[in-house]
Amino acid sequence: MQRSVKQSLGPLADLPGRHGADVPSARRTARTLRWLIRGHDPDPSADQWRALGASLTRGDAPADRLATWMRTHGLATTQPLFEQALNLGIGDVPDAPAELREFFQTVEATPDWVQPKRLVAGAKACHLSGLTGLQVLRDAALMGGYQASAINRTLVLTGALAKGAQRRVAETTKWWIDCTTCGGLSRFAPGFKSTVRVRLMHALVRQRVRALPEWDEAYFGMPVNQGDMQATYLGFSVIFLFGQRAMGVPLSRCEAESVMHLWRYIGWLMGVEEALLFETEMEGRVGLYRNLLSQAPADDSSIALGRALMDEPLSRHYGHALPLLDKLQGRYERAKHLSICRFFLGGRSMSALGLPGGVLPWYPLMTVPFTAVRHRLMRLLPGGHQALVRQGRAAQENYLAILFGSGEPDIARLPQPHG
């Protein structure tokens, strides 16, 4: 029976052509994750496979209705109303249109399963990782995700390459830090507001890209669809957790499940359907594995985005008095990130992303033992765990100055109506 299910994995005639376009290649990409699901058979049943493909055809109904209203009446008029509702509450918008009211009633209706104490614990577990956490998100989740060429299509059509990898990394890092601040997801906190802005931006992009003649909906499905949003959310949770341990940062089961809880709520707030969110890390691993089987293989866009991210460290603001030192540090950081990519992705994926061959994982091999020993010793000392949390968070916040320099973040710039 299981053999027939496995043989059935692949494209389905009534679903987007990208769904299961190259399952053997996807299995190779997901082989490390498959190893982490020992004792379980993560391959989807026929019904689960069809449901996963169907998720590629769905957007985010409340946000999509709001975006339609905003475009119909003009962003210049409607965006101030959105910001007023976001910053003051929908009750402070007299005679708010139904679409605006419905959207904010949705995002303000916190699910019953959300536990504030676990959100704080999850945030502190994210702080523990310090810069290691940001390296995992960049070099394992983001770089590895560029192999999913169907997701890349939206990035290419919205000018992601022209925007520049350095700015994308900086703005995503700022959003992540806002979301992982203790209390950052309370109603009027920066993490909540940034996430809601990103959700609206996704809806506007969804409508804009879908109307482009270059968008092939029969193959790609809906732009910024539920399946792709699930993959992104799992990168911030499941890949983040796996990557921390691989890089020497020990996490208890309680800490890991708190991170999953935190990102389950962030995913929900972002507009991911509740059925596509996971409570435990193992459930998330299985969900990510199945999602990866559905993804289309790497193509030219993977190479373009991968090379742009490879060179991103060369554009950072290191703040040295001598420009030569900035240049040298940029080259060192580029080499360091490539070694981390090699550690997580392997040679085959490096080639698919257009990254240099012959790179060795020298940085993880040099630092993982010291990171592991430091964390374990610090946890044995009175107040050591709290010190790790404080030091890790300070390193993450200080890193923003390197990414932004004197610039200001613009996390969710709304797309213009034309062009």
User: Is the alpha carbon torsion for 407, 339, 126, 151 positive or negative?
Assistant: positive
Residues 6+ apart with CB under 8 A from 239: 136, 137, 140, 141, 144, 288
d(CA 208, CA 94): 29
d(CA 243, CA 130): 13
> Lowest-pLDDT range, 22-26, 133-137, 404-408?
404-408
d(CA 300, CA 183): 41
**Per-residue confidence (pLDDT) for residue 411, from 0 to 100:** 59
Whether pLDDT at 406 is above 70: no
Taking residues 121-126, report their average pLDDT: 98
Output the 3-class SS for the chain. CHHHHHHHCCCCCCCCCCCCCCHHHHHHHCHHHHHCCCCCCCCCCHHHHHHHHHHCCCCCHHHHHHHHHHHHHCHHHHHHHHHHHHHHCHHHCCCCCHHHHHHHHHHHCCCCCCCHHHHHHHHHHHHHCCHHHHHHHHHHHHHHHCCCHHHHHHHHHCCHHHHCHHHHHHHHHHHHHHHCCCCCCCCCCHHHHHHHHHHHHHHHHHHHHHCCCCCCHHHHCCCCCHHHHHHHHHHHHHHHHHHHHHCCCCCCHHHHHHHHHHHHHHHHHHCCCHHHCCCCHHHHHHHHHHHHHHCCCCCHHHHHHHHHHHCHHHHCCCCCCCHHHHHHHHHHHHHHHHHHHHHHHHHHHHHHCCCCCCCCCHHHHHHHHHHHHHHHHHHHCCCHHHHHHHHHHHHHHHHHHHHHCCCCCCCCCCCCCCC
Residue type, position 96, single letter:
A
For residue 179, give the nearest of 222, 131, 120 by alpha carbon: 120
**Per-residue confidence (pLDDT) for residue 11, from 0 to 100:** 84
d(CA 175, CA 134): 12
* pLDDT > 90 fraction of the chain, expressed in percent and rounded: 89
Tens-digit pLDDT profile for residues 17-71: 999 999 999 999 999 999 999 887 899 999 999 999 999 999 999 999 999 999 9
d(CA 253, CA 260): 11
Tens-digit pLDDT profile for residues 387-396: 999 999 999 9
User: 């392997």: which residue's tokens?
Assistant: 346
Average pLDDT of the chain is 93
Tens-digit pLDDT profile for residues 200-250: 999 999 999 999 999 999 999 999 999 999 999 999 999 999 999 999 999
**Per-residue confidence (pLDDT) for residue 264, from 0 to 100:** 98
**Per-residue confidence (pLDDT) for residue 15, from 0 to 100:** 96
The answer to whether 245 and 198 have CB atoms below 8 angstroms apart is no
Distance of CA 396 to the CA centre of its chain: 17
d(CA 246, CA 341): 12
d(CA 204, CA 199): 9
**Per-residue confidence (pLDDT) for residue 408, from 0 to 100:** 63
Taking residues 253-271, report their average pLDDT: 98
pLDDT class for 382, splitting at 50, 70, 90?
A: very high
Taking residues 103-123, report their average pLDDT: 97
d(CA 231, CA 180): 19
CA angle 231, 237, 242 (to 5 degrees): 105
Backbone angles phi, psi at 198, to 5 degrees: -65, -40
